[in-house]
């Protein structure tokens, strides 16, 4: 979909030229094609095109379309505005019939070109499986970026591919993307790869291991609960393991504490954490990242039936701790409690990062553009925050503190899965998980309940549906730490 050439040739169906206001004002552009150079100079002189943010001006050159696009350079401008601009420009109706497009940026530094690639690939993504055939026909465009140097852009393309792969998993029907489907997907990703071991625990094995919390959540479902673990020895033998643990609720009805209308329609996205882990696994294998890693997906479905687990009941999990069910809709932390405890005991990772659509509260606090980050290790938190800044896969740190522990105390069990206090749900959710990390000194929890899915209209350069939150962040973190 994206390729490169060292300079503009103006020989494709269309050319898209990115220009800022000051480039237009100071006439700081130099196109190899004299006709286009003169045409843009004229437009600049007549002030017909001034390079205003996101403005689009079509000009034709021997039947080929040249689209001038204004790029923001105000003090608020950043690489995200560039991502948004290119998404808007490429979806312009002028380019409807253009199959091959030359993209001609005037700024060619590495972060800008990477941002353009992200704006193109993440921006162009659409979930089309169930829409009308004629709309589906809109073919993927070939974009050729004219830029003198091309350092590591193939890597950016692969990473965006991993993001969109994750979005496909999130967007399809809950009855398609089941735990079985995850198992198949993971098997096909790791097929023929070296230094990899797969372990799967189904109902029988989960029961034998005492994963009573994971099993409780799945009681109302006819789908198989699964704990899927991929151990990847990509690094040196002496190097410690990092575990990535994802919440994989393939559908969350809320259980007997049923979610109301308006809160359930997007709940096929409740496996976005596990999907991000799988997308990151894809990236790690594709980019041959040399690290020792454990990828873990805790898969279940929170459905309703005569066997559903009930509020007020107490279950004991893998770590031997009992939990009173305060609310059957706080099920993700139950699955994760067993998933994390099992990972810690059997794989002893030095670092464990879990990623989960855990709490609606995180979106109340942070909105939808940031995932919540909570950690017991500031060094790990800082590394993740740095990756967040460099990838635009946004996270914001929330506090973990000793006094909050009282909020999940129970009169009947070691812990309660819902909080006794109002507010701070993202923090009490993380505090619950902290009880299952054992001696892990470096743990981070990413709450992507707000950021993983766009409902209705599009947000920034994401369309509607799954965003692939966490994939760019985790891949960048693994490459750089």
Q: How far, in Å, CA of 287 to CA of 112, rounded?
A: 21
CB of residue 360 to Zn ion, shortest distance in Å: 9
Residue 60 CB-density burial (10 A; 0-12 exposed, 13-18 middle, 19+ buried): exposed
CB of residue 181 to Zn ion, shortest distance in Å: 20
Name which of 51 and 246 has its Cβ closer to Zn ion: 246
Name which of 257 and 397 has its Cβ closer to Zn ion: 257
Q: With CB under 5 A as the contact rule, which of the stretches 46-54, 129-137, 162-170, 324-332 interacts with Zn ion? A: 324-332
Name which of 14 and 361 has its Cβ closer to Zn ion: 361
Four-residue CA torsion sign, 25, 27, 31, 34: positive
Name which of 113 and 361 has its Cβ closer to Zn ion: 361
CB of residue 259 to Zn ion, shortest distance in Å: 7
Kindly tell me which residue out of 72, 118, 224, 329 binds Zn ion, with binding defined by CB under 5 A. 329
| Known active-site residue 416 | no
Q: How far, in Å, CA of 459 to CA of 462, rounded?
A: 5
301 binds Zn ion (CB under 5 A): no
Q: Which letter does DSSP use for residue 141 in this model?
A: P
252 binds Zn ion (CB under 5 A): yes
CB of residue 371 to Zn ion, shortest distance in Å: 17
Q: With CB under 5 A as the contact rule, which of the stretches 145-153, 198-206, 328-336, 447-455 interacts with Zn ion? A: 328-336
| Known active-site residue 259 | yes
Residue nearest to Zn ion (CB): 329
Name which of 224 and 329 has its Cβ closer to Zn ion: 329
How far apart, in Å, do the first and last CA atoms of the chain sit?
A: 30
Give the Å distances, CA to CA, from 211 to 228, 355, 417, 423, 442: 13, 20, 16, 29, 24
- Helix ranges (DSSP H) in 287-424: 332-347, 361-366, 378-391
CB atoms within 10 A of CB 423: 12
Could you say which of 12, 223, 333, 416 is catalytic? 333
Q: Which residues pair with 59 in a beta bridge?
A: 66
Helix (H) or strand (E) holding 190: helix 179-190
Q: How far, in Å, CA of 86 to CA of 460, rounded?
A: 11
CB of residue 458 to Zn ion, shortest distance in Å: 25
Answer for the pair 276, 374: CB distance below 8 angstroms, yes or no. no
Could you say which of 64, 150, 259, 310 is catalytic? 259
Count of chain residues binding Zn ion (CB under 5 A): 3
Q: What does the buried/exposed string (b/e) look like for 201-219 if buried means 16 or more CB atoms within 10 Å of the residue's CB? A: bbeeebeebbbbbbbbbbb
Name which of 24 and 325 has its Cβ closer to Zn ion: 325
Q: With CB under 5 A as the contact rule, which of the stretches 77-85, 330-338, 427-435, 454-462 interacts with Zn ion? A: 330-338
CB of residue 211 to Zn ion, shortest distance in Å: 18
Q: With CB under 5 A as the contact rule, which of the stretches 34-42, 69-77, 245-253, 438-446 interacts with Zn ion? A: 245-253
Residues that bind Zn ion (CB under 5 A): 252, 329, 331
Catalytic sites, residue numbers? 259, 333
């Amino acid at each position: 979909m994206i390729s490169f050439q060292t300079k503009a040739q103006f020989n494709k169906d269309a050319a898209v030229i990115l220009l800022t206001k000051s480039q237009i004002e100071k006439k700081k552009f130099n196109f190899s094609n004299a006709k286009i150079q003169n045409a843009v100079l004229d437009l600049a002189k007549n002030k017909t095109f001034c390079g205003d943010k996101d403005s689009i001006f079509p000009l034709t050159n021997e039947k080929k379309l040249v689209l001038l696009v204004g790029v923001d350079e105000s003090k608020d401008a950043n690489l995200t505005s560039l991502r948004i601009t290119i998404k808007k420009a490429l979806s312009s109706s002028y380019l409807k019939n253009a199959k091959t497009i030359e993209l001609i940026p005037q700024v060619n530094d590495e972060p800008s070109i990477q941002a353009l690639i992200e704006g193109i690939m993440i921006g162009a993504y659409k979930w089309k499986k169930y829409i009308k055939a004629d709309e589906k026909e809109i073919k993927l465009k070939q974009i050729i970026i004219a830029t003198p140097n091309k350092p590591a852009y193939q890597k950016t393309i692969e990473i965006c591919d991993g993001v969109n792969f994750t979005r496909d998993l999130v967007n399809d029907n809950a009855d398609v993307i089941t735990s079985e489907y995850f198992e198949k997907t993971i098997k096909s990703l790791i097929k023929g790869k070296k230094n990899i071991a797969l372990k799967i625990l189904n109902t029988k094995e989960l029961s034998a291991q005492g994963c009573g919390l994971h099993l409780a959540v799945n009681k109302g479902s006819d789908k198989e609960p699964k704990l899927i673990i991929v151990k990847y020895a990509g690094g040196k033998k002496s190097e410690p393991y990092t575990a990535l643990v994802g919440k994989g609720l393939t559908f969350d009805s809320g259980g007997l504490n049923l979610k109301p209308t308006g809160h359930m329609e997007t709940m096929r996205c409740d496996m976005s954490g596990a999907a991000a882990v799988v997308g990151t696994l894809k990236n790690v294998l594709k980019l041959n990242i040399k690290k020792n890693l454990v990828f873990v997906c805790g898969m279940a479905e929170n459905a309703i039936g005569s066997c559903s687990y009930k509020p007020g009941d107490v279950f004991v999990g893998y770590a031997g701790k009992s939990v009173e069910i305060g609310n059957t809709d706080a099920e993700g932390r139950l699955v994760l409690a067993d998933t994390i405890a099992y990972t810690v005991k059997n794989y002893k990772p030095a670092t464990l990062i879990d990623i989960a659509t855990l709490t609606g509260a995180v979106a109340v606090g942070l909105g939808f553009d940031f995932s919540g980050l909570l950690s017991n290790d500031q060094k790990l938190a800082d590394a993740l925050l740095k990756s967040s800044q460099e990838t635009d896969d946004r996270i914001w740190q929330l506090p973990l503190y000793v006094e909050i522990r009282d909020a999940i105390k129970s009169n009947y069990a070691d812990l309660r899965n819902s909080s006794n206090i109002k507010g701070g749900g993202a923090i009490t959710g993380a505090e619950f998980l902290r009880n299952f990390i054992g001696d892990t000194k470096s743990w981070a929890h990413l709450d992507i309940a707000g950021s993983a899915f766009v409902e209705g209209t599009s947000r920034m350069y994401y369309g509607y549906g799954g965003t692939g939150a966490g994939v760019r962040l985790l891949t960048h973190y693994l490459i750089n730490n």
